[in-house]
Amino acid sequence: MHCLSDEQIDFIAMDIRRRGIHLPGLQENLLDHICILIEQKLDKPEEFETVYAAVIKTFYCSELKEIEEEALFLVQYGRHWVLGRGPFFTILFVIFIGPFIAYDALWLINSYAEYGLYLPRKVWGASFVYSLFPLLTLLVLLFTPERLDPLIPRKSKILIGIRPLIKIVRVA
């Protein structure tokens, strides 16, 4: 067993950074782990480069930076909120139709004394037109094959939802 010199440790640290590892904690972990393995295998100081090249290869399949990519993926994975069909449609409905329904309700309350339970077309018309958007979105989601559903990212679902609206606007 041979203890690595400061220059050799600096070389490894620099090479780890050069290979795309930017997370400081991960750099430290890899540096320590690689140093331990090299020190175990190194008999003569002049073999350092050969042993290092052999050791570093065992850390990855294609590139060392895949370790950092996996680390970032694992952290992000748990924090992504992927909406199911039910909550997605509910939120969409509340955002797009909620204000119109609230407006209709307020109009009814304010004008109850004058008109009774009558709601003019110019008031409910907008609610009806905008209700088509989430309903069409629901149709798109319902007709998306179940096996594809988990593969559709949240943002794409919103885009899929917007597509029918764009078509309506273009036709109009």
Partner 1 sequence: MNFPTELLKGTLKTIVLNLLTKHKSMYGYEITQKVKELTNNKIQITEGALYPTLHALEADGLVTTETEYIGKRVRKYYSLSPSGKATAKVKVKELAEFMDTLISLLNIKTKIA
Spell out the alpha helix ranges (H) of 42-153.
48-57, 65-77, 85-115, 121-143
Q: Is the dihedral of CA 111, 113, 115, 116 positive or negative?
A: positive
Q: Is 17 in the site for partner 1 (CB under 8 A)?
A: no
Kindly report the number of other CB atoms within 10 A of residue 37's CB atom: 17
Least distance to partner 1, CB of residue 152, Å:
23
Q: Is 63 in the site for partner 1 (CB under 8 A)?
A: no
Only one of the segments 33-41, 43-51, 108-116, 122-130 lies at the binding site for partner 1 (rule: CB under 8 A); that segment is: 33-41
Helix (H) or strand (E) holding 29, with range, is helix 24-41
What's the token pair of residue 40? 């175990």
Only one of the segments 58-66, 87-95, 99-107, 132-140 lies at the binding site for partner 1 (rule: CB under 8 A); that segment is: 58-66
Which of 19, 26, 103, 164: binder of partner 1 (CB under 8 A)?
Answer: 26
Q: Is 49 in the site for partner 1 (CB under 8 A)?
A: no
